[in-house]
């Protein structure tokens, strides 16, 4: 199926935002990468902020779909899935194109909580924590929401650590801490 111009612009912007940063990527670079004009870009995305929000929403949908499929492909057991999360994160962090988490990076570039970019980024992690809490509930673990926050913090920390120093082993260390937290949450 041929890609339409709006998708082409979004794809080009997504690649540049993730690899170079949002603020460092100008509209001219996006237009050039998409082989289009500013007029066409602004037809579909009235402002750069609208394009950034569209990038993050698409990234949210694509990443969550991919991530859940990867975790589900490793095991059917909910407790094992809680640990498989760390394996999938580790595999993702090993790809050469890894530049950290797009949502953490975006929140750092747009730190004000009221900013739509920040809100979409925070929303991604809210959904991620709900996913973890649902798995914890399926295991009948104590305080599934608290455990979800704790495991999410381990994952977020591992991602930032790996972004700052490649091949740091942060995901494996986070997984070891997760094992202790999960064991402590058993009824």
- Can you list the pairs that 42-45 forms with residues at least 24 positions away whose Cβ atoms lie under 8 Å? 44/5, 44/6, 44/9, 44/10, 45/9, 45/10
Domain ranges (residues) in the chain: 1-46, 48-184
pLDDT reading at 1 higher than 50: no
What is d(CA 144, CA 11) in angstroms, rounded to the nearest whole number?
Answer: 36
Angle between helices 144-164 and 116-138 (to 10 degrees): 120
Please report the sign of the dihedral spanned by the C-alpha atoms of residue 151, residue 74, residue 176, residue 139: positive
pLDDT over 90 for what percent of the chain? Answer: 98
Q: Which top CATH class is 1-46?
A: mainly alpha
Question: 152-187 pLDDT, tens per residue?
Answer: 999 999 999 999 999 999 999 999 999 999 999 998
Question: 90-117 pLDDT, tens per residue?
Answer: 999 999 999 999 999 999 999 999 999 9
Question: How many CA within 13 A on the CB side of residue 166?
Answer: 7
How would CATH label the architecture of 48-184? Orthogonal Bundle (1.10)
């Amino acid at each position: 199926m041929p890609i339409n111009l709006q998708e082409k612009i979004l794809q080009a912007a997504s690649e540049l935002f993730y690899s170079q940063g949002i603020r460092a990527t100008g509209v001219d670079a996006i237009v050039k990468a998409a082989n289009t004009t500013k007029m066409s870009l602004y037809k579909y995305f009235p402002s750069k902020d609208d394009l950034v929000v569209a990038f993050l929403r698409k990234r949210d949908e694509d990443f969550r779909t991919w991530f859940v499929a990867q975790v589900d492909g490793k095991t059917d057991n909910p407790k094992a899935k809680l640990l498989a999360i760390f394996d999938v994160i580790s595999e993702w962090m090993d790809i050469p194109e890894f530049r950290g988490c797009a949502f953490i990076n975006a929140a750092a570039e747009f730190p004000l909580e009221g900013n739509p970019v920040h809100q979409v980024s925070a929303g991604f992690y809210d959904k991620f924590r709900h996913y973890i809490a649902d798995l914890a509930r399926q295991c009948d673990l104590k305080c599934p929401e608290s455990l979800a926050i704790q495991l999410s913090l381990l994952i977020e920390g591992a991602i930032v650590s790996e972004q700052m120093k490649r091949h740091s082993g942060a995901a494996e260390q986070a997984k070891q801490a997760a094992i202790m937290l999960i064991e402590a949450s058993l009824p």
